[in-house]
Structure 1
């Protein structure tokens, strides 16, 4: 799989991502159904996901935000079952997110077909934190101002598009290979970082974060 194909997959729901991948391999598509491909992928990912470590700075950032009392939510294009497979070996990090503020592609708050790049999942995440940000179809000036207080961290282009569509401040932390596909393009993100440790919370009106900013000094 090339990075150009991978870029079109990141952030999408499982079935849409599978269909997208298979569309680039017509010979395989003739021999393998979408369901069969998903099943094979699930079996292989179950073997690997438990070994994946967070990206640089992610654990320290989550712990720092939590320690500073800053509300945090998780909004992912993965299903709940896949999220649990991806994160069960990292309880110290993911247990810090309130259970009611973990939004997945199959959460009831996200209508089918309205995952990233649509803004719905980020708006649902804001609602889970008690923020009045309106809906994808309706937004008052006060709700727009509330959206503009939100900060979204993303690694995938559909997620960047979703955060921008939600009217929030997107911090994009792409893989270098992904960034190289369209050098200089930020897709509306407010910042493009090499890694999360480059992020300065004080630039966004937040206090220094315990354990996070210490690492930057």
Structure 2
């Protein structure tokens, strides 16, 4: 798989991602269905997910936001079942998110077909934190102002587009290979970071974060 194909997969729901991948390898579909491909992929991913390390700075950032009392939510294109598999070995990060503020591709707040790059999941995440940000179809000036207070951290292009469509401030932390596909393109992100430790919360009206800013220095 090339990075160009991978870039088109990141942030998509499982079935949409599988269909996208197989569209680039038509000979594979002669031997297996999309469901069979998904089943094989799930089995392999279950072996590997428990070995994945957090992105540089992620643990310190989440802990710092939590310690500072800043409301945080998780908005992912993964299903809830897959999210649990991906994060079971990282309780120091993911237990800090309130259960009610974890939004997945199959959350009832996200209508089918309205995952990233649509803004719905980020608006639902804001709602879960008690913020009045309107809907994808309706937004008052006051709700727009509330959206502009939100900060989104994303690694995938569909997620960046979703955060921008939601009217929030997107911090894009792409893999260098992904960034190399379109040098200089930001997709509307406010910042493009090589790693999370390069983010300055005080630039966005937040206090220095315990443990995070010390580490960044």
Q: Shorter-chain TM-score: which interval?
A: over 0.9
Aligned counterpart, 1:118: 118
Q: Which residue in 2 is equivalent to 1:177? A: 177
Aligned residue pair count: 217
The worse-fitting range, judged by mean Cα deviation, of 26-35 and 117-126 is 26-35
| Separation in 1, partners of 2:161, 2:188 | 7
CA deviation profile, 1:112-145 (whole Å, cap 9, x unmatched): 0000000000000000000000000000000000
- Relative to the length of structure 1, the TM-score reads 1.00
Which 5+ residue runs of structure 1 have no aligned equivalent?
A: none
Which residue does the alignment assign to 1:73?
Answer: 73
Deviation at 1:216, TM superposition (A): 1.8
Alignment of 1:181-196 (within 5 A): 181-196=181-196
Cα distance in 2 for residues equivalent to 1:216 and 1:44: 35
1-structure distance, mates of 2:78, 2:31: 26
- For residue 32 of structure 1, report the CA deviation from its aligned partner: 1.3
Structure 2 runs not aligned, ≥5 long: none
Residues 66-145 of structure 1 correspond to what in structure 2 (within 5 A)? Answer: 66-145=66-145
SS of equivalent to 1:26: coil
Question: Which structure 1 residue ranges, 4+ long, deviate > 6 Å from structure 2?
Answer: none
Q: Does 1:161 align with 2:161?
A: yes
Deviation at 1:29, TM superposition (A): 1.5
Distance in 1 separating the partners of 2:5 and 2:29: 15
Partner Cα separation in structure 1 for residue 167 and residue 93 of structure 2: 27
Quote the RMSD (CA, aligned, Å). 0.4
Distance 1:191 1:60 in 2: 19
Alpha-carbon distance between aligned partners in 1 of 2:92 and 2:184, rounded to the nearest angstrom: 36
Q: Structure 1: how far apart are the matches of 2:171 and 2:69?
A: 20
Look up the match of 1:64: 64
Aligned-pair CA distance for 1:58: 0.3
Match of 1:31 in 2: 31
